[in-house]
Amino acid sequence: MSLIVMKFGGTSVATVERIRVVAQHVKREVDAGHKVAVVVSAMSGVTNQLVAWVKEANELYDPREYDTVVASGEQVTSGLTAIALQKIGVKARSWQGWQIPIKTDAAHGSARMIDIPGNALLASMASGEVAVIAGFQGVEADGERIATLGRGGSDTSAVAIAAALKADLCDIYTDVDGVYTTDPRMVPKAKRMDKISYEEMLEMASLGAKVLQIRSVELAMVQGVRLRVRSSFVAPDQLKPFKLGEHSDVGTFVCDEDEIVEKHVVSGIAYAKDEAKVTLFGIEDKPGVAAAIFGPLAETNINVDMIVQNVSEDGKSTAMTFTVPAADLARSLDVVKAHKSKIGYRELKAATDVVKVSVIGIGMRSHAGVASSMFKALSSKGINIEAISTSEIKISVLISADYTELAVRTLHTLYGLDA
Amino acid sequence: MSLIVMKFGGTSVATVERIRVVAQHVKREVDAGHKVAVVVSAMSGVTNQLVAWVKEANELYDPREYDTVVASGEQVTSGLTAIALQKIGVKARSWQGWQIPIKTDAAHGSARMIDIPGNALLASMASGEVAVIAGFQGVEADGERIATLGRGGSDTSAVAIAAALKADLCDIYTDVDGVYTTDPRMVPKAKRMDKISYEEMLEMASLGAKVLQIRSVELAMVQGVRLRVRSSFVAPDQLKPFKLGEHSDVGTFVCDEDEIVEKHVVSGIAYAKDEAKVTLFGIEDKPGVAAAIFGPLAETNINVDMIVQNVSEDGKSTAMTFTVPAADLARSLDVVKAHKSKIGYRELKAATDVVKVSVIGIGMRSHAGVASSMFKALSSKGINIEAISTSEIKISVLISADYTELAVRTLHTLYGLDA
């Protein structure tokens, strides 16, 4: 008998009919003898409606009231899911954040959990009840105001609850059946991975493979919570119940790299289209210029990603290229222009027809030559690299958006990922 | 400076736009220096949607989970109303039942409030905040499960909160501007009453003038809470702020009869169309027959209203007529038929084309002849009375539904109620 946490996102609980399917997935695990805590999101679309109402009432809303309004979405799903479980003979009760209590800090709207006492939940589960927990919400530790964790916070709730309950597994049910080596819509040969390390998943998620909330993966890594991503749209009887030590069921495990025996040099290829490129020409090649550019951007909370400074040819004048989220481009240009005299550039250019393509793999740590093979392969297809950034387990290049598909397919084949 | 409770029903908070109007009504009272607690219902239609989801998940739902789901409607409105108040510069915060806490018994779905500690609310209001309270909900005293008071419970919440806070007034804002001498859609000459006693209001409400929840009026009477019914659809600046001792503003006061100086013999005419008539012919005129009929009906939770037993002509056989809610007619006939041998009737007839018309007035207590003038007036119009029931302050007659309008108009004129 194991203790598992099963998390179901908005599309998995979009209607009462879908909630019935969720109940069947839960029943499968209960019937196998497991203790189960379920974490649910709001029915898909509900949170957007609630947020729209709040903004209609006041664009500058009080975040404590925002939380009170928005947390109601998960409250509804938790009750309906408990009822659907009872309907098929599974004992269940719903839990709101304040009932557990999931204590958070006071940062309403994007609160962080600071403590989850597991005793009430464990006592309920020991009595044979499935605990159906409203995700995304908690209660401010120093008061009794409802707090929410920010959009997508239900994944993070699930991981934190799994840690508090010392669960054997945290299953994240969503509308895809796992994590793929790259976007299957772009590359039909993309394969579902059986396992991926936390570190790789973090790079995948932040690079656009939006299966799991980044925060939830970070928390799982820190707390050592084993995650599995799988689909709630598979018929409940087509999946086998969890069995400790068995890893070969449908879905992708996200776990410590020690658990991954066969370490691929490259595990996956990600791409991000929402990047914008800014280039400043004719800046002086002297100390303090970079600070003059990036200081004001940081103060404006603009997240600069890649930075490339060209080598100066004449020792005096050079060019600086950096990328920002496309949504922040206009603001970024305003900031740069406002500081023109301090920065001292001649010309400013910006482009949004760029894409960042990344290859990710923990095997890179012990394997040289990944970057050079990547550059060579792209070059052989006539793809020009505009910027490069690297981490221990990732290499990213900025290229023209026209070549996205060609680049991703080329690299997917290059690193032996084609199914 | 007074402390007032302002309650807004579902149509008054149906949209964010309507909630903005509610905020203006509240601001008017705050600007006049009053401390204000606001009680809100769910946005109209929301509760029906939530109930439908619960029933779709399981017709035989767990009432505790029902409460968790359904209470979310008022939670949303309370947050949105607080935000709308803040938007126009009024300090406000929302309160859920469990935060106050409004302690209830364990009868989920139709819980009764057992204690409302006013200290947290009063402290918040003393700091200058308007307390925006989610109506209809509380928290089970022996646990921490959300409980709801049953449909329409927000009126009752408001009255209980007014009692706990020792409020000077409980204003019930709705989509009509007060209590009328009869249904204005039927009788254009119907007048809005300035005042009505609790007792009269109870008779009016239970007889179909559905302005206030019966339970809220009972509670107001017991607790001595002064109520006022008025419309939230009047422009906020068209109403004067509350002033202690002034009773002549727009709306109807519901108060102790001692406060009503000029006691009308008849204050209002009510009618109820959802009655059904059952007649048993050829029953024996002997002890125990009434018990044989009404015992089984009571056990089936069918509420029998009027009962008429004809005088037996031959000392042996007679007829019995009674009324039940039209919705319960089929069940009532089943019960009677199932007990035919025990009751011993010859023939059973039922009709739903009947209406109960009632005249109500505390002045009746000290004024004889109301019944006879009523019967004479109806008779002069050729209206046949099929059954009669009376209380200290009310006389009801059952007549053919065809004559509803004629009867109500005739009586409205007879007792000098025409505007």
Alpha carbon distance B194, B200 (integer Å): 13
Q: Which pLDDT score, from 0 to 100, does residue A247 have?
A: 67
- The beta-carbon neighbor of B87 closest among A57, A78, A94 is A57
DSSP letter for B91, please: -
Number of CB atoms found within 10 A of residue B231's CB: 17
**CA-derived radius of gyration, chain A:** 24
Structure tokens at B410: 């005739």
Query: Which residue ranges make up each domain of chain B?
Result: 3-257, 263-419
In tens, the pLDDT along B342-375 reads: 998 999 999 999 999 999 998 888 777 888 899 9
In tens, the pLDDT along A113-148 reads: 999 999 999 999 999 999 999 999 999 987 789 999
Alpha carbon distance A409, B8 (integer Å): 60
Structure tokens at A372: 């050079």
Q: Which pLDDT score, from 0 to 100, does residue B284 have?
A: 84
For B263-419, which CATH superfamily applies? VC0802-like (3.30.2130.10)
- The beta-carbon neighbor of B80 closest among A67, A69, A99 is A69
User: Is B65 in Cβ contact with A75 (below 8 Å)?
Assistant: no
- Considering only residues A419 and A274, tell me which one the structure prediction assigns the higher pLDDT: A274
**Which residues in chain A have their CB less than 8 angstroms from residue B57's CB?**
16, 19-20, 80, 83-84, 87
CB neighbour class for B326 (10 Å; exposed up to 12, middle 13-18, buried from 19):
middle
A170 pLDDT band (50/70/90 cuts)? very high
Number of CB atoms found within 10 A of residue B122's CB: 17
User: Is A68 in Cβ contact with B78 (below 8 Å)?
Assistant: yes
CB B268 within 8 A of CB B201: no
User: Is B86 in Cβ contact with A69 (below 8 Å)?
Assistant: no
| pLDDT higher than threshold 70 for residue A173 | yes
- Reply yes or no: is the peptide bond before residue A101 cis, omega within 30 of 0: yes
CB A79 within 8 A of CB B61: no
CA separation, residue B151 to residues A169, B109, B398 (Å): 42, 8, 28
Alpha carbon distance B74, B10 (integer Å): 9
How distant is the alpha carbon of residue A386 from its chain centre? Answer: 26
Alpha carbon distance A76, B49 (integer Å): 11
- E-strand stretches of B212-346: 227-231, 252-255, 268-272, 275-284, 307-309, 317-325
Alpha carbon distance A201, A268 (integer Å): 10
Structure tokens at B395: 């006389």
Taking alpha carbons only, the member of B123, B134, B126 closest to residue B158 is B134
B307 pLDDT band (50/70/90 cuts)? confident
**CA-derived radius of gyration, chain B:** 24
ipTM over 0.95: no
A261 pLDDT band (50/70/90 cuts)? confident
Q: Which pLDDT score, from 0 to 100, does residue A67 have?
A: 97
Taking alpha carbons only, the member of B255, B274, B267, B249 closest to residue B190 is B267
With CA atoms as reference, the chain A residue closest to B14 would be A53
Q: B interface toward A at CB cutoff 8 Å? A: 16, 19-20, 50, 53-54, 56-58, 60-62, 64-69, 71-73, 75-76, 78-80, 82-84, 86-87, 93-94, 96, 98-99, 144-146
HEC secondary structure over A73-105: HHHHHHHHHHHHHHHCCCCEEEECHHHCCCEEC
Domains B3-257 and B263-419 alike in fold: no
Number of CB atoms found within 10 A of residue B34's CB: 23
User: Is A66 in Cβ contact with B83 (below 8 Å)?
Assistant: yes
B209 pLDDT band (50/70/90 cuts)? low
Alpha carbon distance B267, B394 (integer Å): 10
In tens, the pLDDT along A3-50 reads: 999 999 999 999 999 999 999 999 999 999 999 999 999 999 999 999
**Which residues in chain B have their CB less than 8 angstroms from residue A144's CB?**
98-99
**A127 strand-pairing partners:** none
In tens, the pLDDT along B34-61 reads: 999 999 999 999 999 999 999 999 999 9
Q: Which pLDDT score, from 0 to 100, does residue B249 have?
A: 67
DSSP string, B308-342: EEPPPSSSSEEEEEEEEEGGGHHHHHHHHHHTHHH
- The beta-carbon neighbor of A65 closest among B50, B66, B94 is B94
With CA atoms as reference, the chain A residue closest to B15 would be A53
Question: For the domain B3-257, what is the CATH code?
Answer: 3.40.1160.10
Tell how many helices (H) and how many strands (E) occur in chain B: 13, 20
Q: Which pLDDT score, from 0 to 100, does residue B259 have?
A: 85
B303 Cα to chain A: minimum distance (Å): 31
Q: Which pLDDT score, from 0 to 100, does residue B206 have?
A: 66
B149 Cα to chain A: minimum distance (Å): 17
| pLDDT higher than threshold 70 for residue A87 | yes
- Reply yes or no: is the peptide bond before residue B101 cis, omega within 30 of 0: yes
In tens, the pLDDT along B238-280 reads: 999 999 887 656 899 999 988 887 778 899 999 988 899 999 9
